[in-house]
Amino acid sequence: MERTELIASLKEILGEENVLASEMDLTLYGYDASLEKGRPDAVVLPGSTEEVSRIVGLAYREKIPVIARGSGTNLSGGTVPVRGGIVVHLSRMNRVLEIDIPNRTVTVEPGVLTLDLQNLLLKKGLQYAPDPASQKVSTLGGNFGENSGGPHCLKYGVTTNHVLGAEVVIYDGTVVWIGGKCPDHAGYDITGLLVGSEGTLGMATKIMLRIIPAPEAVKTMLAIYDSIEDAGNTVSAIIAEGIVPATLEMMDNLVIKAVEESVHAGYPMDAAAVLIIELDGMADGMERQAEKIFDICKRHRVREVRLAKSDAERAELWAGRKGAFGAVARLRPSYLVCDGTVPRTKLPEVLGKVIQVGKKYELPIGNVFHAGDGNLHPLILFDERNREELSRVHKAATEILKICADVGGTISGEHGIGTEKLKEMSFIFSESDIDFMRDLKNAFDPVDIWNPGKVVPARQAATA
């Protein structure tokens, strides 16, 4: 189908105003928060499941790629139209459809922003737990696509643990429901399969999520260290003691300095590392847990533990953590986040190796990450315009992911594979594992139009 014909057909489905095809629009939708670039043939803004279904039906008949897009904040190239096609921007589908308090579920359209839902629920004393640091702008559809994590996922689990069901548009435009309000479901766990599939198997048009009561009490501490190793050892010691805080987030000196210079969160500029440790739950017994944590920190040579004394102080500590990527972005024109995960006892060893990789490739690397989950985020700083530097960045990132894989970890904790980590898939999967994924993708997407070029490496690229 010619591009002009495609655009005319899309306008018939969606109306003139909901189809974008100018040079500027196509350029703007050609990238996301990763380093990857592409160019769609058209961008559409559907307002209903029916419209999504008609767009997908057309794409299926004409064999045109379809790429679901929330806010485009993913860090792995997940929304980049690498083979052109139709970008389906779901921002107009942004209604909260039902809050069912007795069954503790909420049903939303995919374009609802994560924090908007959380703020709405909080007013009713309820909580949707997964809290990616991008929650102010990320959508629940994007969280579904990436199986996003966040600081609170240490205690509460990642997105997949909170998705109960979804309405999904599948390969030819058919609309199906998977999962639902019952705690268990007969048949295949298709919900589990779709969450984290990065828009390669279908597009969620309604998502049913688990909600829980908001915690009665919260205690937030900042533990300050002169050695990154001591901070790392504290993390596994806290968990080994049988305490599961709501969050255990770590930042190293490079990130602390960047945050202080932009967000002014009150972190000490000379610290080697800080941990944000937050407890939540029943007020009863929380003081005892906090004391235990103080003791563990002391055993690991903490310099100081500061307790947030008010909501304002707590917000300040979190503003630093949640603004960390943005703060680091001021240091150099570009950054690449490596999203490797390791068993948490390996954190000190792996952090040491990450520092060595930075030295080897002469690249500044900052660390800000979900330490409790062993989910590292080494941020490699560079200038994308310098091709030689960019090539060192890619080598360093691959080496860091290999280090993670070699200690029994994995290549993505939450940011997905997208296009960025295709060749690193061989670090954790055998060729037959990957072949099985290809077969699976083929069953869901027989004409290869669903976000092609993502997650599953093409046969020749499967070995790094």
Q: Footprint of ligand FAD on this chain (CB under 6 A)? A: 32-33, 67-75, 78-79, 90, 110, 132-134, 138-139, 141-146, 148-150, 198-199, 203-204, 325, 414-415, 451
Q: Tell me the closest approach of the beta carbon of residue 97 to ligand FAD, in angstroms.
A: 14
Closest approach, Cβ 91 to ligand FAD, in A, equals 9
Q: Which of 400/455 has CB closer to ligand FAD?
A: 455
Residue with tokens 């904040």: 73
Place of tokens 């937050």: 278
Q: Whose Cβ is closer to ligand FAD: residue 33's or residue 274's?
A: 33
Which amino acid does the sequence have at 88?
V
Q: Closest separation between CB of residue 451 and ligand FAD, Å?
A: 5
**C-alpha span between 216 and 286 (Å, rounded):** 11
What does the block give as tokens for 417?
A: 């594979």
Q: How far is the CB of 115 from ligand FAD (least distance, A)?
A: 12
Residue ranges of E strands in 152-269:
163-169, 175-179, 203-210, 212-213, 217-225, 247-252
Minimum distance of ligand FAD from residue 80's CB (angstroms)? 9
Select 230 or 252, whichever has its Cβ closest to ligand FAD: 252
CA angle 299, 303, 304 (to 5 degrees): 100
Task: Pick the closer one to ligand FAD by CB: 29 or 267.
Answer: 29
Residue 207 tokens read as 């998502």
Beta strand 42-44 with 86-89: parallel, antiparallel or unpaired?
A: parallel
- Smallest distance, ligand FAD to C-beta of residue 405, A: 19
Taking the C-alpha atoms of residue 14 and residue 25, their distance in angstroms, rounded to an integer, is 17
Q: Return phi, psi of residue 206, to 5°.
A: -145, 145
Instruction: For residue 16, give the DSSP letter.
Output: G
* Neighbouring-strand partners of residue 107: 98, 208
Give the position of tokens 């290999």.
402
Shortest Å, Cβ 294 to ligand FAD: 27
Minimum separation from the CB atom of position 108 to ligand FAD (A): 10
C-beta of 300 vs 409, nearer to ligand FAD: 409
Closer Cβ to ligand FAD, 9 or 73, answer by number: 73
For ligand FAD, the closer of residues 107 and 134 by Cβ is 134
Rank residues 316 and 414 by Cβ distance to ligand FAD and give the closer one. 414
User: Which pair of structure tokens corresponds to residue 77?
Assistant: 């190239």
* Nearest approach, Cβ of residue 130 and ligand FAD (Å): 8
CB atoms within 10 A of CB 426: 18
For residues 33 and 138, give the distance between their C-alpha atoms in angstroms, rounded to a whole number: 11
- DSSP 3-state assignment of 250? strand
For residue 242, report the phi and psi dihedrals to the nearest 5 degrees. 90, 10
Amino acid at 167: E
Strand partners for 89: 69
* CA-closest candidate to residue 294, choices 374, 192, 221, 196: 221
User: Radius of gyration over alpha carbons of the chain, in Å?
Assistant: 22
Whole-number minimum distance, CB 205 to ligand FAD, in Å? 7
Cβ nearer to ligand FAD, comparing 135 with 233: 135
Nearer to ligand FAD, 305 or 437 (CB): 437
**Lookup result for tokens 């001591």:** 230
